Amino acid sequence: MLEEFVEKPVIAYFSMEIGIMSEIPTYSGGLGVLAGDTIRSSADLKIPLVGVTLLTRKGYFRQDIDPEGNQIEMPDEWNPEEYLHRLPHKVKVGIEGREVAVGAWTYVLVSVTGGKVPIIFLDTDLEDNLPEDRAITHYLYGGDEAYRLKQEIVLGIGGVRMLDEIGFEVKKYHMNEGHSSLLTIELLRRFRRDIEEVWDDRLVWDAERVRRLCVFTTHTPVEAGHDKFPYDLVERIYTDTVPVEVIKEYGGSEHLNMTLLGLNLSHYINGVAKKHREVSKEMFPGYEIHAITNGVHSFTWTHPRFRQLYDHWLPGWANEPEIFVRAGKIPKEEIWKAHMDVKRELIDHVNRETGVGMDYDLLTIGFARRATAYKRADLIFTDIERLAKIGEGKLQIIFAGKAHPRDIAGKELIKRIFEIKRLLGGRIKIAYLKNYNMELALKIISGVDVWLNTPLRPYEASGTSGMKAAHNGVLNFSVLDGWWIEGHEEGVTGWAIGGGPDEPSDPEKEADDLYRKLEEIVIPLYYTKRDEWIKMMRNSIRMLAYYFNTHRMMRRYVTEAYIIY
């Protein structure tokens, strides 16, 4: 099955979540979609890469929301047999003193260019295992700390063993965030020197050789966001071959910090935007940290109607997004016509789903992403009366997003939007769409007029949904954080909200700025200077989509991280 892929050396790309399509719910949000886009671009560019992730049979979760705005979570069961092939290979990892068997499935992603990238899904739901071990790979980000550590043992250690078992010759191991950092420990074991050869016990572990093989991408600009495990838990759960004493040497002495482990055993480390690199350098002083700004897979995140437009005016764009630089050739009327087709499709969908009665011709704002406190979905509702005054009869807003089942504040945010919707009493129409996933993301992101993003700085490492919006000529209106610091040019590619990236965040000032710009700039431009508006749409395609894509991103990973040494 995988013969053609094991003939040549590969880059192994490890990620706890990979978003391939909505029908395979083994992703939760931006990290997984980025992993999927990474793989899609690698296939287009024929980069020899293999993805490694977990076969989460019950997915992340399926979201329902009751009329009061309470989130209801259901397992998102799917049938791997419908999409994947089971492989005959099996490996074992040591967990709680048991030998847990790990099986594998594969999905081969095929590009229109003929490029192919296999993805290996690790699965402990095998008859060989005890019921509790069978459940290890069931839920993405489910369970407690112990459950997470078991998953990370399966992903990191099991993943390396599985690639070996299948016959891959791996030239680089790329860790997409710290969840897979234990792969470094398995590599330490593999390159263990014979005790007779060395004069110092610590030199048994050939860390330098492991480093030369590893690339680490961090995605988390907050201390609390990094996976950490207390060592008493590690000692109980992790019963594989490398002594915990050795793990402590690289993963931190107080607790096992998965980011630190990745940093200490990689030769190339990067953040996902320039600002994120600065924040990471402060968080982890002493490490050389690079920046490769994220992107999105242009073809995937362009609505079919806009693909048609680009095929006509910018042939070759999908595999060479630099061609977007010529977007000035596309007549403005054509862009507007395409946009209105996409917008009508979205508004019809919203009205069908929610019965809220939205209008094709009203300025429509979209806000959809994980519902979690720092993303501040409710910043626009800081002063409801002011918003109503500015926007009545002129504005409608579409929301979507899931809160992690244990994120109480995130769930409160969803409830609050439902409450505000009642308070506004239809003066501004609001819809909250359920079960945000890749399919719904493309619908909303491409069909609104303005893509709003109001994270608390500097918590948005990069953000990618705004890049998707730009691919569809949708204008960004966002706090200067993550990628937007690099993409923003005021009044040209979109608008900023609040102060510069280095000023401390001030929610009141930001809300005020948001209202002021809505009232004085965004709304008047939309209704009275449509020509200027469409010019900005075209600028977004020309100046943002041409750069913020995973083709550019992957070319940089190849030249800066993969082919050194």
Q: Does 494 bind ligand PLP (CB under 6 A)?
A: no
> What is the three-class DSSP state of 142?
coil
- Cβ nearer to ligand PLP, comparing 63 with 280: 63
Task: Tell me the CA distances in angstroms from 234 to 148, 160, 161, 185, 237, one per residue in order.
Answer: 11, 19, 20, 13, 5
Q: Which stretch binds ligand PLP (CB under 6 A): 29-37, 133-141, 258-266, 495-503?
A: 29-37
Among 137, 464, 476, 478, contact with ligand PLP (rule: CB under 6 A): 464
DSSP 197: G
Q: Does 30 bind ligand PLP (CB under 6 A)?
A: yes
The DSSP H or E segment spanning 87 is strand 85-95
- Cβ nearer to ligand PLP, comparing 100 with 296: 296
Number of CB atoms found within 10 A of residue 419's CB: 15
Q: What is the rounded distance in angstroms from the CA atom of residue 404 to the CA atom of residue 153? A: 22
- Cβ nearer to ligand PLP, comparing 103 with 463: 463
Q: How many residues bind ligand PLP (CB under 6 A)?
A: 12
Task: Tell me the CA distances in angstroms from 442 to 59, 426, 526, 533, one per residue in order.
Answer: 20, 26, 22, 22
- Cβ nearer to ligand PLP, comparing 238 with 484: 484
Q: Does 15 bind ligand PLP (CB under 6 A)?
A: no
- Cβ nearer to ligand PLP, comparing 56 with 437: 437
- Residue 427: which of 399, 398, 389 has the closest Cα? 389
Find how far residue 179's CA is from the centre of its chain.
14
264: tokens are 């200490």
Q: What is the rounded distance in angstroms from the CA atom of residue 562 to the CA atom of residue 565? A: 8
- Cβ nearer to ligand PLP, comparing 213 with 296: 296
Residues listed for the chain: 565
- Cβ nearer to ligand PLP, comparing 106 with 435: 435
CB of 461 to ligand PLP, least distance (A): 9
Number of CB atoms found within 10 A of residue 340's CB: 14
Number of CB atoms found within 10 A of residue 447's CB: 26
Q: Does 141 bind ligand PLP (CB under 6 A)?
A: no
Q: Does 403 bind ligand PLP (CB under 6 A)?
A: no
Q: Who's near 194: CB < 8 A, 6+ residues apart? A: none
Q: Does 176 bind ligand PLP (CB under 6 A)?
A: no
- Cβ nearer to ligand PLP, comparing 61 with 173: 61
Q: What is the rounded distance in angstroms from the CA atom of residue 229 to the CA atom of residue 370? A: 24
Q: Does 35 bind ligand PLP (CB under 6 A)?
A: no
> What is the three-class DSSP state of 24?
coil
CB of 540 to ligand PLP, least distance (A): 16
Q: Does 33 bind ligand PLP (CB under 6 A)?
A: yes
| Amino acid present at 370 | R
Q: What is the rounded distance in angstroms from the CA atom of residue 86 to the CA atom of residue 103? A: 8
Among 42, 53, 465, 472, contact with ligand PLP (rule: CB under 6 A): 465
Q: Which stretch binds ligand PLP (CB under 6 A): 223-231, 285-293, 339-347, 461-469?
A: 461-469
Interface map 421-460 toward ligand PLP (x if CB under 6 A):
---------------xxx--x-------------------
CB of 155 to ligand PLP, least distance (A): 21
CB of 30 to ligand PLP, least distance (A): 3
CB of 439 to ligand PLP, least distance (A): 9
Among 25, 29, 366, 410, contact with ligand PLP (rule: CB under 6 A): 29
250: tokens are 């690289």
Contact call for residues 536 and 475 (beta carbons, < 8 A): yes
- Cβ nearer to ligand PLP, comparing 43 with 441: 441
Q: Does 41 bind ligand PLP (CB under 6 A)?
A: no
Q: Does 339 bind ligand PLP (CB under 6 A)?
A: no
Q: Using CB under 6 A, which residues numbered 362 to 381 contact ligand PLP?
A: 369
> What is the three-class DSSP state of 114?
coil
Number of CB atoms found within 10 A of residue 398's CB: 25
| Interface residues toward ligand PLP, by CB under 6 A | 29-30, 33, 369, 436-438, 441, 463-465, 468
